[in-house]
């Protein structure tokens, strides 16, 4: 099979208070809220999707916010950092902006000949800005608070923390078609996809760490993108043949999904690019209403009564 994984589709994490999460990712980082819905498996919990102007695959960071959740504990068996690609010319802008908003950051540092800064969201999710994007590329949210020439463009990649390498590396390279591109001590960089959708997936090995405890500030799963359902079903078969338990295809309304856990414990998803977030809202309306799938629409009143109230941020373009 040709490598049909074209990069990262989305990354889903856990948060605590939904309003704080919304304010940070929209007002501070300048991502667009492209869908406000619920966890289809637990509809008393929001599912908030952030991304570029259209919610294109490769830009989507999503959250399940649990208002009373404690912070997760870092460890092995998790996606330990999420990295965004930012225009190289935006470095000073973001250093100033993070400082202005009282966000502690580390760097700029060099890793694999790339410059980056590292910081955390309000729940402790580890984020990185990698300064290497080109001004004018991507589809930055033009109505957001960040000038498009400085806005995050897409995922650069993610870091996976593991206790050992061999079985996960075999899955990524032998089964899923990832390519090892570089090594630096206990950090191994792999690449998936090509061109503008290529993603860097770093594996960091530290057997001394305890298993991660997933809660607020933890990544729940990482989803790899494929073009359509036919490609997804081929991957479903191949993952099963590799000896891993894989789910049936699940309708997530905006994409179709299969899930499996890689040998190191990280939950993987393979998601289709279509149908996308404009299937039930126009481009202009994205994220403005609570959208429910047909099988939950009957319970809208009850669902709205149990969800905590949130207010959509009022944003305005700024140069700071």
* Each residue's pLDDT tens digit, 202-248: 999 999 999 999 999 999 999 999 999 999 999 999 999 999 999 99
**pLDDT tens readout for residues 169-186:** 999 999 999 999 999 999
pTM: 0.96
Q: How far apart are CA 162 and CA 240, in angstroms?
A: 22
Place of tokens 């279509």: 274
Section 189-200 average pLDDT: 93
Q: Are strands 60-65 and 42-51 parallel, antiparallel or unpaired?
A: antiparallel
Strands 199-205 and 154-162: parallel
Which CATH class, in words, describes the domain spanning 8-306? alpha beta
Q: What is the pLDDT of residues 127-147, one digit of tens each?
A: 999 999 776 656 899 999 999
Model pLDDT for residues 71-111, shown as the tens digit of each residue: 999 999 999 999 999 999 999 999 999 999 999 999 999 99
Q: How confident is the model at residue 313 (pLDDT cuts 50, 70, 90)?
A: confident
Which tens digits make up the pLDDT trace of 42-82? Answer: 999 999 999 999 999 999 999 999 999 999 999 999 999 99
Taking CA atoms, 65 is separated from 19, 36, 153, in Å, by 9, 12, 24
Take residue 87 and report the two structure tokens written for it.
Answer: 């225009």
Strand order across the beta sheet in which 78-87 lies: 105-111, 114-120, 126-133, 78-87, 154-162, 199-205, 187-192, 179-184
- Asked whether the bond before 65 is cis by omega within 30 degrees of 0, the reply is no
Q: Answer yes or no: is pLDDT of 1 > 50.
A: no
**For position 205, what pLDDT does the model report?**
97
Closest CA to 136 of 181, 196, 56, 180: 196
Task: Tell me the pLDDT of the chain averaged across its residues.
Answer: 95
* pLDDT on residue 183: 95
270: nearest Cα among 284, 255, 285, 254: 255
How far apart CA 316 and CA 301 sit, in angstroms, is 32
């Amino acid at each position: 099979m040709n490598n049909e994984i074209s990069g990262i589709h989305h990354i889903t994490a856990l948060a605590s208070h939904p309003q704080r999460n919304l304010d940070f990712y929209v007002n501070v980082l300048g991502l667009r809220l492209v869908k406000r819905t619920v966890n289809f498996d637990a509809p008393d919990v929001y599912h908030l999707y952030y991304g570029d102007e259209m919610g294109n695959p490769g830009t989507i960071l999503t959250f399940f916010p649990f208002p009373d959740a404690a912070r997760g504990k870092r460890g092995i068996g998790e996606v330990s950092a999420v990295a965004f690609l930012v225009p190289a010319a935006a470095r000073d802008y973001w250093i100033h902006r993070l400082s202005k908003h009282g966000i502690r950051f580390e760097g700029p540092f060099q890793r694999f000949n790339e410059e980056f800064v590292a910081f955390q969201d309000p729940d402790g999710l580890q984020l990185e800005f990698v300064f290497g994007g080109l001004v004018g590329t991507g589809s930055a949210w033009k109505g957001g608070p960040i000038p498009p020439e400085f806005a995050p463009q897409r995922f650069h990649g993610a870091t996976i923390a593991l206790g050992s390498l061999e079985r996960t590396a075999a899955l990524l390279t032998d089964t899923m078609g990832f390519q090892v591109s570089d090594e630096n001590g206990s950090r191994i960089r792999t690449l998936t996809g090509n061109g503008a959708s290529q993603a860097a997936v770093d594996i960091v090995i530290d057997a001394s760490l305890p298993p991660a405890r997933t809660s607020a500030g933890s990544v729940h799963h990482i989803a790899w993108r494929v073009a359509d359902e036919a490609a997804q079903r081929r991957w479903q078969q191949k993952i099963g043949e590799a000896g891993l338990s894989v789910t049936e295809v699940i309708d997530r309304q905006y994409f179709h999904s299969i899930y499996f856990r890689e040998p190191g414990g990280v939950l993987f998803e393979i998601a289709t690019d279509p149908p996308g977030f404009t299937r039930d809202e126009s481009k202009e309306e994205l994220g403005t209403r609570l959208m429910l799938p047909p099988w939950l629409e009957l319970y809208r009143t009850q669902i709205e009564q149990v969800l905590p109230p949130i207010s959509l941020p009022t944003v305005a373009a700024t140069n700071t």
